[in-house]
Structure 1
């Protein structure tokens, strides 16, 4: 399963990535520009025209954004299954430029969070960090072949996480007890831990994930 298999990306994979990158850049500039009123309004009208043109191609009904299937043997690229995810979606302009990878059984989410993700001045918003932990913990579960939804996620904010500074989120499965999965995570900047996470997840087997996927597609 790859992002190229997603029904809304067939035949337009690189073009969709380019569109997401352009909109991501627009978001960055829109939060910083001091353009005069006329230039600001002209930009808004131009973007409305672009949006109207693209809206003609929006399917109805929309297919699910996430491909919910059990991981295949040796598969570790969660990004390919979640092309529009708010954190790791390569086709979502909302997603920061974070890269998901693995080192053995540890999931790694790395990259630099910039101005659009600011909370306290000069620091990353706590909600953004919580979302990043949720996805990196889910990736660790995916690698360990115990995927499933989040039951609870506890974040301990040890110190401020700075904007414009490389982040390294790490997560690994700590224990599996029947359907209950406990996953631990931490965030490092310059080798210093700024946040830690403890996630509780529910393991869904192949049949359960199949039923969830069917419901997402509107099937009985």
Structure 2
């Protein structure tokens, strides 16, 4: 059976407020969906914008300077740690980032899995998922596969082959696993299935780095 990473997040920014942050994230997600679909009249639209600016002002007072890290580096890269939890604010898989894709990660060693259903905000061609959203999902899928194989590291190359349209409103299953390793180089492959058919395939090259190296790289960017 696949193991879904659903344990509580260890991120320090969420200590004592994880449920409340999840509620905020869900509300903003709903707002994104409504904002991309509403035809509210101009006065209602402007009133809503002003209310949201006031909410943003209130929350902005609690933004730390310097900001806390988005990704935690102290957890093991062997698949035992909560992959999504250590990336709580990630742009693709972060549970507390309302921009993240509507996907959940699970492990079925040696495979990593992503499951979910794309909704209207992720539309590209009419009725279909935007290719950029799919590419982002594959990048995190491969990262998860590398993570469970103990070979985490940055992406060097990612090739996406779109076989057929991926539909909105239809369950998606992404499957990925490490295909080969040579020194620090890692080759990872993945595919996306809808209704039992492959719609997209991906091949990625990654560079395996230890946590100390990643931490030094992060520190240089601060």
TM category, shorter: over 0.9
For 1:114 and 1:154, the matched residues in 2 are separated by 24
Name the structure 2 match of 1:198. Answer: 203
Name the structure 2 match of 1:177. Answer: 182
1:26 aligned onto 2:36: no
Contact 1:69 1:210 in 2 (8 A): no
Contact 2:174 2:192 in 1 (8 A): yes
Question: Which one of the candidate residues 83, 98, 105 is aligned to 2:88?
Answer: 83
Name the structure 1 match of 2:12. Answer: 7
For 1:108 and 1:76, the matched residues in 2 are separated by 16
For 1:38 and 1:73, the matched residues in 2 are separated by 53
Alignment length (residue pairs):
216
Contact 1:77 1:101 in 2 (8 A): no
Question: Which one of the candidate residues 59, 78, 91 is aligned to 2:64?
Answer: 59
Question: Which one of the candidate residues 206, 210, 213 is aligned to 1:208?
Answer: 213
Name the structure 2 match of 1:112. Answer: 117
Residue 175 of structure 1 aligns to a residue in which SS?
Answer: strand
Contact 1:68 1:212 in 2 (8 A): no
Question: Which one of the candidate residues 116, 140, 146 is aligned to 1:135?
Answer: 140
Structure 2: runs of 5 or more not aligned: 1-6
Structure 1: runs of 5 or more not aligned: none
TM-score by length of 2: 0.92
Name the structure 1 match of 2:103. Answer: 98
Contact 1:79 1:100 in 2 (8 A): yes
Q: CA RMSD in A?
A: 1.6
Q: How many Å apart are 1:213 and its aligned residue?
A: 4.5
Kindly provide the CA deviation profile for residues 143-179 of structure 1, in whole angstroms up to 9, marking residues without a partner as x: 0000000000000000011111111111000000000
TM-score by length of 1: 0.93
Name the structure 2 match of 1:46. Answer: 51
For 1:22 and 1:50, the matched residues in 2 are separated by 12
Question: Which one of the candidate residues 47, 71, 74 is aligned to 1:69?
Answer: 74
